[in-house]
Amino acid sequence: MPIHPIIKHTWPGNYKDAVLLQERLRKRLVLHNETGDVRLVAGADVSYSRGSDTYYAGVVLLSYPSMELVEEAWASGKAVFPYIPGLLSFREGPVTLAALAKLKNKPDVLLFDGQGVAHPRGFGLASHMGVLTGIPSLGCAKSVLVGEYDEPGSTRGSDTPLVYKGEVVGRALRTRDGVKPVFISAGHMLDLETAAGIVLECSKGFRLPEPTRRAHLLVNRVRKMEEGKGHTPGGTPSPPTPSPARRGGLRKAGSLMSIYDALYAHYGPQHWWPGETPFEVMVGAILTQNTNWGNVEKAIANLKTAGALSAEAIHTMPDAELAELIRPSGYFNIKARRLKAFISYFMERYGGDVGRMKMAGCAALREEVLAVNGVGPETADSILLYALGCPTFVVDAYTKRIFSRHGFFPETADYHDVRKFFMDRLPVDVRLYNEYHALIVKLAKDRCLKKAGMCGLCLLTGKQIS
């Protein structure tokens, strides 16, 4: 076995013993460069299950610097140690070592998704794994655990020191132009300069270097495969087959209405975007991209508190300041740009006046709004329907999931095809479209989750034909 632990220890089960072990093992750290010819690099990452304590580690072995796949390995186990910042290696270490042990070839360097010596006791995951395996190692973390740094320049390769208690313990390194840096620290048997050089060399068009990035992809793939095994032999849970009566036949126009009626009878009115101003609704439509409404409310509350919930205020606010306010909605840097792009359009074309905007007419508005950078079809339709009162049907992932599971169209169906599907079959009615979309969202979150499992409780059963 090419990777065998050169040091073995039992894994402590509590905080105090874990810290003591770190302090003991740390004395074995070698922090000068002992890498020679680097030809093979390995990356490791761990993936957890939500509902169980089973976790998986994936390892990929790649040629250096060409980054061609040489070997993959993975292992699973039971997580016994909780996640405690500073003690990550006690949670992820055991499975990671098991996966590493399955490699047939010995890597020259190991890359980990976490810190090396940039750690409260100078002994993060990468250092720990390096010492146990006796292989040079480095940490490439997505965020900082300890220390301070200045923002590096915006181009790939720019870096700044990460300083902790007056010492340079790592480096913020930009691996892609204009993308958040990663945080490099030496693990074991190499120095910071060497570590940063390897990470940059391994980074090919993504923020994360190939070894950790591909280990992450591998281990998530493995976990999902393994989790799917027990339930459906095929892997992914299969949606219910359309009933024989409907399969291949024409669907009655009334079926969408009967589904609406069933949802409305069950859930009642959803009161979506009732009291707020149209402007607030438009802001919300952009902020809610890829996030839940609760976080959007926090962001909007921040804007209100800052007196910034107006086109004027947002228009003149620096991007960074706006991003800070809308932080809770996620993707805040991108959304700050999108919000400003939309508001520039709104100010320049309509002077920030919703009434004037409405006069342009729904069809023209849809095209205009779609032309704004950051406004795609769903956001456009949300703005039109919920802020401007236009009769347009909003399609989202939930709509596709629910109706594709009943065979109305494939889940991969194009946005506009699905929109047309609904609009061709429903009366043109703003209030109906408004409520229907809200009910779809409600149903999806309640009992039509991505991971199928509550199909027995489906409210659409038997409702396909009116």
Partner DNA sequence: GCGACAG
Partner DNA sequence: ATCTTGTCGC
Contact residues toward DNA (CB under 7 A) are 45-50, 83, 85-89, 92, 113-115, 119, 124-126, 139, 141-145, 216, 220, 223, 288-292, 330-331, 334, 372-380, 396-398, 401, 415, 444, 449-451
From the list DNA, Mg ion, none, partner contacted by residue 314 (C-beta under 5 to 8 A by kind): none
Closer residue to DNA in complex, CB, 376/391: 376
Amino acid at 37: D
Burial of 13 (0-12, 13-18, 19+ CB in 10 A): exposed
Instruction: Map residues 23-62 to x or -, x wherever contact with Mg ion holds by CB under 5 A.
Output: ----------------------x-----------------
Residue 72 binding Mg ion, by CB under 5 A: no
Q: Tokens at residue 211, please?
A: 């070894």
**HSE (side-chain half, CA atoms, 13 Å) at 114:** 26
Inter-axis angle of helices 415-425 and 254-267, nearest 10: 90
Q: Given CA atoms 234, 235, 240, 245 in this order, what sign does their dihedral have?
A: negative
DSSP string, 402-418: HHHTTTSS-TT--HHHH
Closer residue to DNA in complex, CB, 34/53: 53
From the list Mg ion, DNA, none, partner contacted by residue 50 (C-beta under 5 to 8 A by kind): DNA
Closer residue to Mg ion in complex, CB, 45/378: 45
Work out how close the CB of 305 gets to DNA at its nearest, in angstroms, rounded to a whole number.
Answer: 17
**Number of Cβ within a 10 Å radius of residue 443:** 22
Binding residue (CB under 5 A) for Mg ion from 113, 210, 396, 435: 113
Give strand pairing partners of 183: 141, 172
Work out how close the CB of 415 gets to DNA at its nearest, in angstroms, rounded to a whole number.
Answer: 7
Strand 40-48 and strand 54-63: the pairing is antiparallel
Distance CA 401, CA 426 (A): 19
Work out how close the CB of 288 gets to DNA at its nearest, in angstroms, rounded to a whole number.
Answer: 7
Work out how close the CB of 315 gets to DNA at its nearest, in angstroms, rounded to a whole number.
Answer: 19
Work out how close the CB of 209 gets to DNA at its nearest, in angstroms, rounded to a whole number.
Answer: 12
From the list DNA, Mg ion, none, partner contacted by residue 142 (C-beta under 5 to 8 A by kind): DNA
DSSP string, 155-190: STT-EEEEEETTEEEEEEE--STTS--EEEEEEESS
Closer residue to Mg ion in complex, CB, 108/113: 113
